[in-house]
Chains A and B, each alone.
Chain A
């Protein structure tokens, strides 16, 4: 309401509201003599509100202010969850215990910020709770980010604030589970600062060099006794990272290399590397090479830094070709590397490098009112073997207002370590996706699953979405 009132003076303000209600429920009967029946139901409500075009157009004949003239907007999103049935527990102590949920979180302010774009032709700004998704990390923080674009296609950025606490969505332990969830440290907000330089508006390259330092929160250490007997520990560096990202567009777009790397200054490790190359030598043919090497990043005072010795390492290859306008075929190969090492516990690895290899193929067919996608895959050498196939179909009826979804997922897996974990699962899904009105959609999906783990498993999912945009004051 406050936003609506605030928006009233602007003559061309656009307001977008999104209300989404998701419901989910499932029942699982556990094998064994008890045959316990687990049931769970969940209700999730998203409320997004955006107030756009806060600045009026300069020209009398303009419906919307030109991009070059700059613009202000407010973007917010909130989520409320409630879990019923098994595994529910009381909500977090951070706020009123309104609802129960599986993980203690109940109300998430996902993001809420004021954004300024292209002010004075050179300044971009965001203030409030926001995400940063970049080579540095993917996390949320409360604070400000500002970028100054210079005439030489170089942007200078600065940002700072507090990382959201670990109990919130995209709080640090949530994105990278470090095993210390729900501790006082997770519920404290860590001060952080950062800076970056980036290439802006170049046809051939997009690049960014960024730095971020996070400090341990004082609130956590206030009641901790130091080694010398004093009470309270000073704040110190908790995370310190540098990232470099580059994406290029070469040979008229036929070659698109990209790479990102993150160096953890605190641990002295290059803990995240991804590099890829897309070769699109025609509009119908595509070849992609992709290498990924990453390891989790923890606060520097986390004991889990001692575990993080081996990275998750993948090399992938994808080739896709379009056959006419209806058919698309893709093949995929994947290799995962496991690098073992000797330990002082006396264990010697059989091999220094273990390789898990796999691949798959996909065929997609689509016409005016029907589409089908068939996937087949097999992955081995990762402590077992997994092979399976998926079929996804969608059929549009009733003047495209109703979509009927039918899907089949089958997978069989064999565990080389524990034979008891060998198994299979076959899941049949059927559902609808209906456009009830302009901007109002309803999706319902049910799944019956046959698996070697559960005697019986059924789940149903529903989503009702109302997505509206209206302009006020004009």
Chain B
């Protein structure tokens, strides 16, 4: 390593360290980036990215209570004023006590009846006798949503609108929380906004937060099935995402910023799962055309230093020489195919003219590929000698001769 390289290395490391120092003590942090492999299908615990797993060790019957004409708000007392999902909207024990007798707290005269509602209880010694204790209480992490009960109720929504018919439900679980399709009946872009960030939490950039800041096995928020607009992140989505990304780029931009795209498409390091092994030495036909390709592995063997060039036969005229050199660069069978077939020399030339290294000067392309009707009409594939449409002719007339072409001719 040269002295200059060492200095550059040190400078880059210092820049990183300064960046770390400048940002130390920050608040929220983001999740890891897809540096090496998509972890979308990696380890994941249960629950959904919107409604985390709950543990409700309770015994309750909504249907039984509703049959007694008990209004929802009699138990969910603060629902009218709830403005965020972090609000605790479960009925408290004291609320239950109104009908079921005092247990929260329990007067000394009252016998313990914990197991009437709580399913996990213990019994332990007590100076006054054996008493019952609650062994586990509910665990209900807040939903990863932006939601306001107050504003929805004020707009005329009822409990049934979102939670469905509770008269047939015993203990309510996440199954009684509204699914996305339910929300979209009103959030259709006309009656109410259908912007993803209206319900799903967003970060400062306005992008939807798709993964937990610190929980690496939390389920990720990804488009699924009927709510995905064709962008279900299935197992083959990485290979096929081009179609939906072109057709509806704003759909992707709801969650992904530019960096997410450039990580793979213009990243210094290609994702290894896709560009694995000696990817660049696979036959050319299998390589995506638009892949710059030179970032991970060295050039294919035919361009490696130390590999001797093909022996040169005698020269017999310019045309034959061009064909010979092309044949040296590309197997002869490919020359007979359509000029732009992936097996052809043109394919290699489009990627980088230097690839066709047996051609010492670009002007030799013109021996076959004329740039005007006055030159050799050897190839009918020229867009200039065989105009395909009036539009192309008009465009040709309107533009000046390229300096590149002038240089070559």
Contacts and interface: CB of A to CB of B under 8 A. Distances in A.
A134 B388 contact: no
A415 B37 CA distance: 29
Contacts of A296: 289-290, 350
A116 to B, nearest CB: 11
B272 interface: yes
Contact of B32 (A40, A237, A257, A433): A433
9 contacts: A131-B258, A252-B226, A258-B244, A266-B392, A286-B232, A302-B402, A308-B383, A309-B340, A453-B281
B35 A403 contact: no
A280 B41 contact: no
A78 B9 CA distance: 17
A341 B379 CA distance: 12
B268 interface: yes
Contacts of B104: none
Interface string A81-110: 110101100000000001110110000001
A332 B234 CA distance: 11
Q: Which 3 residue pairs spanning A and B have beta carbons closest together?
A: A439-B29, A52-B204, A268-B389
Contact of A81 (B46, B262, B268, B353): B268
Contacts of B391: 265-266, 268
A471 B27 contact: yes
Interface in B1-35: 1, 5, 8-9, 12-13, 15-16, 19-20, 22-23, 25-33, 35
B367 to A, nearest CB: 12
Interface stretch (B74-82, B92-100, B248-256): B248-256
Please indicate which of the listed interface residues B45, B337, B366, B405 has the most CB atoms of chain A within 10 Å of its own CB. Answer: B337
Contacts of B389: 268
Contacts of A203: 184, 188-190, 194
Nearest to B246: A260
A11 interface: no
B380 interface: yes
Interface string A351-376: 00000000000101011111101000
Given A53-B204, A206-B250, A396-B216, A283 B378 contact: no
A383 B283 contact: yes
A330 B231 CA distance: 16
B259 A48 contact: yes
Please indicate which of the listed interface residues A283, A401, A410, A447 has the most CB atoms of chain B within 10 Å of its own CB. Answer: A283
A269 B392 CA distance: 9
A14 B204 contact: yes
A231 B36 CA distance: 52
B283 A84 contact: no
A439 B12 CA distance: 20
A290 B230 CA distance: 11
A328 B235 contact: yes
A257 B230 contact: yes
Interface string A296-325: 100111111111111110001010100001
Nearest to A108: B266
Given A265-B391, A307-B369, A332 B42 contact: no
B399 A339 contact: no
Nearest to B193: A201
Interface size class on chain B is 35 or more
Contacts of A234: 400
A344 B240 contact: no
B73 interface: no
Nearest to A137: B246
B137 to A, nearest CB: 23
Nearest to A246: B247
A306 B379 contact: yes
A243 to B, nearest CB: 9
A40 B349 CA distance: 26
Given A103-B294, A312-B342, A368 B45 contact: yes
A443 to B, nearest CB: 5
B243 A177 contact: no
B234 A44 contact: no
Given A292-B242, A400-B216, A153 B388 contact: no
A462 to B, nearest CB: 9
Interface residues of A, number: 208
A383 B236 contact: no
Contact of A304 (B262, B283, B349): B349
A288 B228 CA distance: 13
A133 B245 contact: yes
Given A43-B12, A278-B230, A307-B369, A461 B272 contact: yes
Given A274-B247, A382-B286, A36 B30 contact: no
Interface stretch (B60-68, B152-160, B195-203): B195-203
B225 interface: yes
Given A181-B352, A236-B398, A253-B226, A133 B249 contact: yes
A384 B277 CA distance: 18
Contacts of A16: 30, 203-205
Contacts of A307: 339-340, 346, 349-350, 369, 381
Contacts of B121: none
B226 A254 contact: yes
Contacts of A411: 276-277, 282
A189 interface: no
Contacts of B283: 382-384, 386, 413, 415, 421
Contact of A258 (B13, B243, B273): B243
B125 interface: no
B123 interface: no
A105 B281 CA distance: 24
A36 B306 contact: yes
A156 interface: no
Interface string A387-417: 0001010111000110101010111010101
B15 A47 contact: yes
B217 A396 contact: yes
A418 B272 contact: no
Interface in A427-460: 427, 429, 431, 433, 435, 438-441, 443, 445, 447, 449, 451, 453-454, 457, 459
B171 interface: no
B404 interface: yes
Interface in B294-315: 294-299, 301, 304-307
B320 to A, nearest CB: 12
Given A247-B251, A431-B36, A73 B205 contact: yes
Interface stretch (B111-119, B128-136, B162-170, B328-336): B328-336
B292 A174 contact: yes
Nearest to A200: B189
Contacts of A28: 297-298
Contacts of A330: 234-236
Nearest to A101: B268
Given A367-B43, A465-B35, A79 B304 contact: no
Please indicate which of the listed interface residues B226, B242, B336, B346 has the most CB atoms of chain A within 10 Å of its own CB. Answer: B226
A193 interface: no
Contacts of B307: 30, 32
A254 B227 CA distance: 8
A362 B403 contact: no
B178 to A, nearest CB: 15
